[in-house]
Structure 1
Amino acid sequence: MSIFRDEFPQSPGLCYLNHAAVAPWPRRATVAVQRFADENLSLGASRYLEWMKVETRLRERLMRLINAPSVDDIALLKNTSEALSFVASGLTWAPGDQIVISDEEFPSNRIVWEALSAQGVELVQVSIAGSDPEAALLEACGPRTRLMAISAVQYASGLRLDLARLGQGCKARDVLFCIDAIQQLGALPFDVQAYDCDFAMADGHKWLLAPEGLALFYCRAELRPQLKLTEYGWHMVEHMGDYNRSDWQPAQSARRFECGSPNMLAVMALEASLSLFEDIGMAQVSELILQRIDWLREGLAAIPGVKLHSPQDPARRSGILCFSIAGKDHKAVWEQLMSHRVICIPRGPGLRFSPHFYTERAVIDEALRQVRLIAMQ
């Protein structure tokens, strides 16, 4: 655990259980940003070609992280919402087309589809509260369904879906499959090829331990030309850098979705953070997170009055655990916990804890102690 403490030298007494919202950076990401800032201060952009090598490494790391077929499948966008908007605005819709989502989606994966109602597109929201949420989602796909858009892990409950089953079901029904991966990527293994997904997107500021303002967008190669472009600029053309060229075409790679200059500061941080995941391995990262979720689950279940709202089935668990205390307003409980430096957030029917692989047992024990004290009041 010493390497984890060195990478995350957090303030003594801080119980940070909010990685599903905005996560701390590891030391190496902070060092990368500091180095980048120092270079800008003393050298300006004279090392820009070296910076571009870091961007290339980032794309390669992201390709490996999601098992994309090629680095050409990776676009670097501002956030998850922008990537979802590229899909919603890029596809050609007809009146009567349907989109299937769950009834537990974060607003980013709901509003973007609701906005298509002016084109006559119908949004079908499916309850996934039953024992077989995948069956419910696939049964909702009829002859007019064009696309299923689903979060890999639901942001409030932490429900983890069987993405391979959904992908196979969508493929059999000729339905496009779009995954909001923000609550899985960096916490659990993710494989676009195993899931048969057409689109996937995720910000870097949650489980990937990087700054806000930079996101991954995966688009299956065959579909890239089918998405109408809504943003244009010097960076998204095939012959980028040939500034005197009057005839231009969009890049054949996913760079076609990147209209202008990259967020190079965030590139430095995310590339460094991803090196930590590769050093440890996603299998171990996932194992450590689920171990900590088990610690929290067992501890919370032993506190009188506490109710767990996250799935009990181990196959459904993620890095998110939602709970409430009987007779207590969860926002008031949140304020009390925050006052004792237990960093969490209200979501859904209660409070959400989200530890990461480096979270120490002492942090979890202290958070549980604070919950117990509040429950006894």
Structure 2
Amino acid sequence: MSGHYDVEAVRKEFPAAERITYLDSGFQTPLARPVKAAIDRFLSEGLETAGPKSVWLDRVEQTREQLARFLGVSADEIAFTKNTSESMNIAANALPLRAGDKVLMIHGDHPNNAYAFLNLRRKGVAVEFVPMTEVVNAESLRPHVDAGTRAISMSQVTFHAGHRFDVESIGALCAEKGLYFVVDVMQAIGVVPIAARAMRATFIGSGSHKGLLVPQGLGLLYWDKSRTELEPAYLAAASLAEIPADLIARADKLDPAPNARRFELGNFNLPAIHALSASLDMIEALGVENIQNHCFDLGDHLIARLDALGVRLVGPRERQHRAPHIYVIALPAAEWLGHFEENGVRVSPERDGIRVSFGMFNTIADVDRLIEVIRRRGVKPSSRAA
């Protein structure tokens, strides 16, 4: 049992977690039975009726509303995309940035956030990388804001060591300085509570195959609808304010939709959106704060067990600065990954060691199993805590 919900009952919904010690949800979460059932329903409808498209599109809008409630925003501020990278590129290209403008980012943050803005260098936009430290907040960035700064873009939670940046204070800094603020929440959403309004973000982007439990191929984009000056770099009939009934393109009617649909391009990933509705039902039934606190408890136990072994943790240790579910152990991936695989423990290689990432289904026993696998092999002095 967890002190926050019945984790054993939740675990039964993830068959993969019963077969291996799965500690890799920061890469991709195993498929849950209710999520698979939603996809199966979609496939059965396509098989048996050739697809009730109007019903499917109604469900898209229902899921859009469900996701909006989950983020504390309105449905007309939510667009569906393909993945986080697409969301970040849509956001970067929608900002009215010109030659000489500057964007601040965090050095070592996810590359696909950085590339979306680095690509704007061809337009003369400058990107400045601020050093990553264990604590990143408004005061970390304030000295780098100058007259040319127009935007800040960053992750809420880092993928490689579980830093949790103070996006609320940075959002307040952006509001104070009149900057656009773009936030990648891929490693946070579904585990860390997200209050989009409190972030004061211009755009928030994410995929859905980690904390949101959906197979790869679906992303989301929140757009602050008060920012009506932000228009899409690409255009399709689906993104227009007036979609021509006869589907004949007219050059005099190119106004983008007044809602976030302006950033959508064509058909949806319908099975994944069905899956997202089911996964949001699962997450909301438990409560994101309960999932977060459960993962924090697992993390506390992991840190205590690593300390007892004398093995170093990479990244922040304090709850206020760390993600609840992502931890990197200072064990060289080239030497250790095969050992974990041979012992039925699924983890990820990371730039500074072995990444352990928890999901709602993990237990204290999973942590103890990991520690036993480490203890049995033994560690070299270079991996030991100072």
TM-score > 0.5, shorter chain as reference = yes
Supply the distance in 1 between the matched residues of 2:136 and 2:36 (Cα, whole angstroms): 42
Alignment of 1:100-115 (within 5 A): 100-115=104-119
CA shift for structure 1 position 283: 1.4
Amino acid of the residue matched to residue 259 of structure 1?
L
1:294 maps onto 2:300 in alignment: yes
Structure 1 vs Structure 2 CA RMSD: 1.8
Alignment of 1:312-351 (within 5 A): 312-318=317-323, 319-325=325-331, 329-351=332-354
SS of corresponding position for 1:10: helix
| Aligned length, in residue pairs | 370
In structure 1, the partner of 2:10 is 4
Amino acid of the residue matched to residue 333 of structure 1?
W
In structure 2, the partner of 1:58 is 63
1:362 maps onto 2:368 in alignment: no
Change (3 A) 1:342 1:241: farther
Contact conserved, 1:100 with 1:149, CA < 8 A, in 2?
Answer: yes
Contact conserved, 2:134 with 2:321, CA < 8 A, in 1?
Answer: no
Amino acid of the residue matched to residue 64 of structure 1?
R
SS of corresponding position for 2:226: helix
Change (3 A) 1:93 1:244: closer
SS of corresponding position for 1:194: helix
CA offsets, 1:150-181, max 9 Å, x none? 10011111010111111111111111111001
In structure 1, the partner of 2:384 is none
CA offsets, 1:98-146, max 9 Å, x none? 1001112111111111111122211111112265554122221111110
CA shift for structure 1 position 352: 0.7
CA shift for structure 1 position 366: 1.0
1:263 maps onto 2:269 in alignment: yes
In structure 2, the partner of 1:234 is 237
Amino acid of the residue matched to residue 36 of structure 2?
T
SS of corresponding position for 1:226: coil
Equivalent of residue 188 in structure 1, options 176, 186, 192:
192
SS of corresponding position for 1:351: strand
Supply the distance in 1 between the matched residues of 2:103 and 2:17 (Cα, whole angstroms): 45
Contact conserved, 1:128 with 1:136, CA < 8 A, in 2?
Answer: no
Equivalent of residue 89 in structure 2, options 63, 85, 88:
85
Contact conserved, 2:190 with 2:212, CA < 8 A, in 1?
Answer: yes
Structure 1: runs of 5+ lacking an equivalent: none
CA offsets, 1:238-292, max 9 Å, x none? 2447235654532111011112011101111111111101111111111111111
SS of corresponding position for 1:59: helix
TM-score (norm 2): 0.91
In structure 1, the partner of 2:222 is 218
TM-score (norm 1): 0.93
In structure 2, the partner of 1:42 is 48
SS of corresponding position for 2:189: coil
Alignment of 1:147-186 (within 5 A): 147-186=151-190
Change (3 A) 1:89 1:313: same
Supply the distance in 2 between the matched residues of 1:210 and 1:181 (Cα, whole angstroms): 15
Equivalent of residue 246 in structure 2, options 231, 243, 247:
243
SS of corresponding position for 1:148: strand
Supply the distance in 2 between the matched residues of 1:376 and 1:258 (Cα, whole angstroms): 50
Amino acid of the residue matched to residue 348 of structure 1?
R
In structure 2, the partner of 1:21 is 27
Which 10-residue stretch deviates more, 312-321 or 226-235? 226-235
Supply the distance in 1 between the matched residues of 2:207 and 2:114 (Cα, whole angstroms): 17
Which 10-residue stretch deviates more, 313-322 or 125-134? 125-134
In structure 2, the partner of 1:206 is 210
Which 10-residue stretch deviates more, 233-242 or 118-127? 233-242
Contact conserved, 1:101 with 1:137, CA < 8 A, in 2?
Answer: no
Contact conserved, 1:79 with 1:215, CA < 8 A, in 2?
Answer: yes
SS of corresponding position for 1:222: coil
CA shift for structure 1 position 11: 5.5
Supply the distance in 1 between the matched residues of 2:238 and 2:276 (Cα, whole angstroms): 20
CA shift for structure 1 position 209: 0.7
Supply the distance in 2 between the matched residues of 1:135 and 1:37 (Cα, whole angstroms): 50
Amino acid of the residue matched to residue 95 of structure 2?
L
Change (3 A) 1:127 1:303: same
1:285 maps onto 2:288 in alignment: no
Contact conserved, 1:29 with 1:269, CA < 8 A, in 2?
Answer: yes
SS of corresponding position for 2:328: strand
Supply the distance in 1 between the matched residues of 2:244 and 2:282 (Cα, whole angstroms): 32
SS of corresponding position for 1:153: coil
In structure 2, the partner of 1:97 is 101
Contact conserved, 1:77 with 1:215, CA < 8 A, in 2?
Answer: yes
Which 10-residue stretch deviates more, 209-218 or 121-130? 121-130
Contact conserved, 2:135 with 2:321, CA < 8 A, in 1?
Answer: no
SS of corresponding position for 2:121: helix
Structure 2: runs of 5+ lacking an equivalent: 1-5, 381-386
Amino acid of the residue matched to residue 361 of structure 1?
I
Supply the distance in 2 between the matched residues of 1:9 and 1:81 (Cα, whole angstroms): 29
